[in-house]
Structure formats: structure tokens, C-alpha cells
Amino acid sequence: MSELVNRAFRLRQRPVGRVTEKDLELVTESVPDLQPGQALVRTLYLSLDPTNRIWMSEKPSYLPPVEIDAVMRGVAVGQVVESRRDGVKPGDHVTGMLGWQEYAVVGDGATDVTVLPDPLPAPVTAFLGVLGHTGISAWLGLNNIGRVKPGDTVVVSAAAGAVGSVAGQLAKKYGAARVVGLAGGEAKCRHVIEDLGFDDCVDYKREDWRDRIDAATPDGVDVDFENVGGEIMDHVMSRLNLHARIVLCGMISQYNSDGGGDSWAGQRAIGEMIMTRSTMSGFVVLDHADQFPAAIDELAGLWAQGKLKADETVVEGFEQARDELNNLFDGRNTGKLLIKVADPG
Ligand SMILES: NC(=O)c1ccc[n+]([C@@H]2O[C@H](COP(=O)([O-])OP(=O)(O)OC[C@H]3O[C@@H](n4cnc5c(N)ncnc54)[C@H](OP(=O)(O)O)[C@@H]3O)[C@@H](O)[C@H]2O)c1
């Protein structure tokens, strides 16, 4: 056994509602010796994602549920500290499903990783956000499903979050006449308009949020980039124009419901799609690896020219991960929520 000590979060039971210490236990354990074909990676930044909550439930999704007692699944960037794997050397930056742990064994018989370019073209955190799975999700949803046309009105829910902030900015670049965000609180809405360039933003925590959505979309809605689901989505659907497109990216309002998303009220306004001959399509970013290079190319170009803002909320300390995941559901983050686990070597 290596002398290194690993801290990891292991799933002990399936959460009901918010995640507790009993559900996700922080343990200290030794790091196994490397086998041929493997490398040891030190986690630098851990991505906290709404889907983490889905993976903890026993409901089958696009990935199998995390097994009880297993290290919690999670996307991270890290740095190789030791390698017995061809093509991977100490110091390399890598990204992949390193899990909620400080050290991960990767390679043969373990999870695979992607080696990031050297030198890094952007801060390493960008590979979990604007140039990672959340930025790419925004790009995929708009290009494959939303297909924004000049003159369109686009509504983006969770607009101040990782996916939503990029989706709204891209929709403007693609020629939307009006991009309206939905976000929790006045300060977030101000940020969405003033810093991210949305045309308007509705604070869905206000009592009159329905009237405000109506007022913000005087010409109806052509594209709904949906991150939230539930009653907010229902109301946006009541505003659909003819041949509108609904990009069903996520439904965070449902993930914490008892049973981890198994039981929820359901959408009520689906019938609007018949009257408006609209289409709705879900997607999962993992299915579209063939489009990642095109997405990253465009996103990196815009980012490098200063035309795409990449908000991040970085919280120091691996031990904060469980509480911070709950905070994601309270909207305490702006942009991509990351845990800083270690400094680069
Ligand atoms: N399909 C895919 O492949 C894919 C990939 C990545 C993410 N997603 C989905 O995209 C959505 C956004 O993910 P993200 O990583 O970018 O997270 P995020 O938007 O950075 O964080 C989640 C945000 O959702 C808002 N929120 C939380 N609970 C809510 C509720 N009950 N009602 C309304 N808003 C709520 C909060 O903002 P406020 O302060 O504004 O409430 C919070 O900041 C999620 O649904 C996620 O599952 C899908």
C-alpha cells in the first residue's frame, strides 16, 4: 500500500430530500498500489452537479445508480502524481470521473481519463465549466435542439447557473432578438442582465413571477432552454409560439423530491405543444462526444476573445463537498460550482 492517505465520500444510504452525513460519509483510507496500466491522480477541482443527486438515487438513469458503499461518482480535474500507464506522465492535467476523493487510481481496471493539452489554453477550472460538460451542454442544446433563428425569443431557466449562463450568452450570439433568463433573487437577475447580456431576467422567487414572465415575453417564446422543470416550465410553456422548440436539459426542481426524483407532480402544460406544433427533446451530454471538438472550438474561441463570460463559484476544502451539493439546490452558486481540493503541483 502507498503511504498516501486518501479522503473520500462514500455513499452509505440513498438520500431522501437533502443529502446528510449518514447518506454520504467522509472516510479516510489508504491509496492502493498502482498496477501496470494505471496512474495515480491527485484531484485539484471537483465539479458539483445537480445530476450527482440523481446518481445517488436508486432510479436508473443514463448511468447506473452509485452502489451503496462506493465512492461517490463525480467529474473532476486532477494532476498525475505517479504513472505506470503509457501516454500519461506525472504532472499531466487530466479530467474524467475521478470521483469524490482526493486521489484516484485511473486506467486499466479503473476509470479512464482525458489528458488535457499542455500548456493549458485556459485555467484548469474551465475544463469543468465553460469548456467542460456544462458549457458543452449549453452548446449542444442550442445547436441540436433549440436551433435559434434571428428574431427568436429564448427563455433560459437557472440562467445564472453553469449551463444557463452559457446558453443565454450563446443564444444572443446566434441572433435571438430577445433572451430572457429566470433566476432566484434580484442580485442574480441584475447579474444576468448587466454582466451576461441577457435582455431581461425574471426573479422566480417573487410572488408575481408569472405576470413578469408574461411581460418579459411580449412576442411569446420560440425556444425554452429548460433547466428547472415543474411549475416554472409549465408557465413558460403557456407562452409558446408556433413551432417552438423546448430544449429539455434538466429539471433540477424535481431532483430532491422524495425518492430522489422518483415522485413528482408532472408537467401540466404538455398539451400546449399540440396547439403550437412544438417539439421537445431531451439530451445527455455524454452521448455526443463526436461533437465535443466543435463545441469546445467555438466556446474556447468566444472565451479567448472575451465574448463569453465563464462564472465560477469555487469553494475551498474537499470536506465541504456534501454541504455544497445541498447549496446548489438552494441556488447559493453563481455559474459553475467547484470544490477546490488541492493546489496544482
Ligand atoms: N442534459 C445534460 O446533459 C445536462 C448536463 C449538465 C447539466 N444538466 C442540467 O442542467 C441544469 C443546470 O445544471 P448546472 O450544472 O448548470 O447547475 P447550476 O445551474 O449551476 O445550479 C443549479 C441552479 O438551479 C437553480 N435551482 C435550484 N433549485 C431550483 C428550483 N427548485 N427551482 C428553480 N431553480 C432552481 C439555482 O439557481 P437560482 O438561484 O436561480 O434558483 C441553482 O444555482 C440542471 O437541471 C442539470 O441537471 C443537464
- Strands 200-203 and 279-282, by their bridges, are unpaired
Return the SS3 of 327. helix
Residue 60 binned pLDDT confidence (cut-offs 50, 70, 90): confident
pLDDT score for 182: 98
Q: pLDDT value at position 1?
A: 61
Amino acid 87: pLDDT: 92
The predicted pLDDT at position 107 comes to 96
Cα–Cα nearest to 24, from 325, 259, 260, 327 = 325
DSSP label at residue 316: E
Averaged pLDDT for residues 278-288: 98
User: Ligand 1 center to residue 234 CA distance, Å?
Assistant: 17
Question: Taking the CB of residue 267, how many other CB atoms lie within 10 A of it?
Answer: 20
Q: Checking phi first, is residue 99 left (phi over 0); if not, alpha (psi -120 to 50) or beta?
A: left
Cα 213 from chain centroid (whole Å): 24
Distance in angstroms (rounded) separating the CA atoms of residues 213 and 207: 12
Residues of the chain above pLDDT 90, percent: 92
Report pLDDT for 9.
Answer: 98
Structure-block grid coordinates of residue 86: 503509457
Nearest protein CA to atom 42 of ligand 1, as residue: 331
Give the pLDDT band (50/70/90) at residue 96: very high
Q: Which atom of ligand 1 is nearest to the CA of 336?
A: 20
What pLDDT is attached to residue 299? 98
The arithmetic mean of pLDDT across residues 42-62, rounded, is 95
Q: What is the distance in A from the centroid of ligand 1 to the CA of 43?
A: 24
Between CA 28 and CA 46 the distance in angstroms is 17
- pLDDT of amino acid 176: 98
Ligand 1 midpoint to CA 7 (Å): 27
Give me the mean pLDDT over the 43-63 stretch.
Answer: 94
Residues 202-230 have pLDDT tens digits of 999 999 999 999 999 999 999 999 999 99
The upper half-sphere exposure of residue 246, i.e. CA atoms within 13 Å in the direction of its Cβ, equals 29
Q: Which three cell numbers stand for residue 316?
A: 475551498
CA-closest residue to ligand 1 atom 37? 331
The pLDDT tens digits of the residues spanning 11-40 come to: 999 999 999 999 999 999 999 999 999 999
Dist. CA 35 → ligand 1 center (Å):
39
Task: State the Cα–Cα distance between residues 34 and 52, nearest whole angstrom.
Answer: 28
- Given the CA of residue 253, which atom of ligand 1 is nearest to it? 31
Measured from the Cα of 163, ligand 1's closest atom is: 16
The residue whose CA has the least distance to atom 20 of ligand 1 is 161
Sequence length of the chain is 345
Residues 36, 293: Cα–Cα separation, whole Å: 30
How far, in Å, from the CA of 328 to the mean position of ligand 1? 8
Pocket of ligand 1 (CB under 6 A): 49-51, 133-134, 137, 158, 160-164, 183-184, 188, 227-228, 249-253, 283-285, 328-329, 331, 333, 337
- pLDDT given for residue 257 in this prediction: 73
Query: What one-character DSSP code corresponds to residue 31?
Result: P
Average pLDDT of the chain?
A: 95
Q: Is 0.95 surpassed by the pTM of this model?
A: yes
CA-nearest residue, atom 30 of ligand 1? 253
- One-character DSSP codes across 75-142: -EEEEEEEE-STT--TT-EEEE---SBSEEEEETTSB-EEEPPSS-SS-GGGGGTTTSHHHHHHHHII
pLDDT at 265: 66
The confidence score (pLDDT) of residue 259 equals 44
Task: Name the residue of 247, 252, 333 whose CB sits within 8 Å of the most ligand 1 atoms, as the mutation to test its pocket.
Answer: 252
Phi, psi of 281 (to 5 degrees): -140, 135
Residues 6+ apart with CB under 8 A from 168: 154, 156, 159, 179, 181, 192, 196, 197, 198, 225
| pLDDT confidence band for 262 (50 / 70 / 90) | very low
119 cis-preceded (ω within 30 degrees of 0) = yes
Query: How far apart are the C-alpha atoms of 181 and 193, rounded to whole Å?
Result: 8
